[in-house]
């Protein structure tokens, strides 16, 4: 069986909604991946979350600790709400603006966590296909796929605004 992605997974519509065109396989993959992200969000000291909760004051640990105390719960609540919205909308074929925003935030969060785990740096070209012999090949392919979904979702969001 050959896997084929629909031409565009997110397509802005004239009424302001966005069509969600994911294959059943993609929906199942997200249904397996997103609960893992939810579990990670509950582990505040997990190093994979570093990019989701960045240091605000790298040169002032005391000030940064204050910032983290004030903002972390709010950021966590926002990310958790978006994640729940995406999980609840995995089977739909049309998204409203709030759902699309949740998809954007959640896809980006999943991508950032996976990129952190894979040690993808800002200077790396993350779009390079991994070797089939790479032990992290599946994670790299997932990272590339999430990057592609995020790109399409961002394009649909921009189309909605124009």
The pLDDT of residue 42 is 87
Q: Indicate the range of 85-89, 91-95, 158-162 predicted with least confidence.
A: 158-162
CB 18 within 8 A of CB 12: yes
The pLDDT of residue 90 is 97
Is residue 6 scored above 60 in pLDDT? no
Query: What average pLDDT does the segment 149-156 reach?
Result: 97
Instruction: Please write the tens of the pLDDT for every residue from 128-138.
Output: 677 778 898 89
Residues 62, 74: Cα–Cα separation, whole Å: 19
Q: In this structure, what is the dihedral angle of CA atoms 108, 113, 114, 116, given to the nearest 10 degrees?
A: 120
pLDDT bin (cut points 50, 70, 90) of residue 54 is confident
Is residue 64 scored above 70 in pLDDT? yes
DSSP state of 86: H
Residues 89, 60: Cα–Cα separation, whole Å: 41
Instruction: Please write the tens of the pLDDT for every residue from 10-35.
Output: 999 999 999 999 999 999 999 999 99
Residues 119, 135: Cα–Cα separation, whole Å: 14
* Backbone phi, psi, residue 59, to 5°: -95, 5
Q: CA dist 127 to 66, 74, 145, 158, Å?
A: 37, 32, 10, 22
Q: CB within 8 A of 48, min separation 6: which ones?
A: 40, 113, 116, 117
| Structure-token match 């396989």, residue found | 25
Residues 68, 55: Cα–Cα separation, whole Å: 8
pLDDT bin (cut points 50, 70, 90) of residue 127 is low
Residues 143, 155: Cα–Cα separation, whole Å: 18
What is the C-alpha end-to-end distance of the chain, expressed in Å? 39
Query: What average pLDDT does the segment 58-87 reach?
Result: 93
The pLDDT of residue 130 is 72
């Amino acid at each position: 069986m050959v896997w084929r992605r629909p031409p565009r997974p997110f397509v802005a519509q004239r009424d302001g909604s966005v069509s969600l065109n994911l294959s059943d396989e993609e929906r199942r993959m997200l249904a397996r991946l997103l609960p893992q992200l939810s579990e990670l969000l509950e582990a505040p000291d997990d190093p994979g979350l570093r990019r989701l909760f960045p240091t605000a004051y790298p040169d002032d640990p005391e000030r940064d600790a204050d910032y983290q105390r004030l903002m972390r719960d709010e950021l966590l609540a926002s990310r958790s709400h978006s994640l729940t919205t995406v999980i609840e909308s995995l089977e739909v074929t049309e998204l409203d603006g709030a759902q699309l925003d949740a998809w954007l935030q959640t896809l980006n969060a999943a991508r950032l966590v996976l990129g952190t785990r894979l040690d993808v740096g800002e200077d790396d070209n993350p779009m390079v296909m991994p070797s089939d012999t790479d032990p992290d090949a599946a994670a790299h392919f997932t990272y590339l796929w999430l990057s592609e979904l995020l790109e399409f979702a961002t394009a649909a969001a921009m189309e909605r605004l124009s």
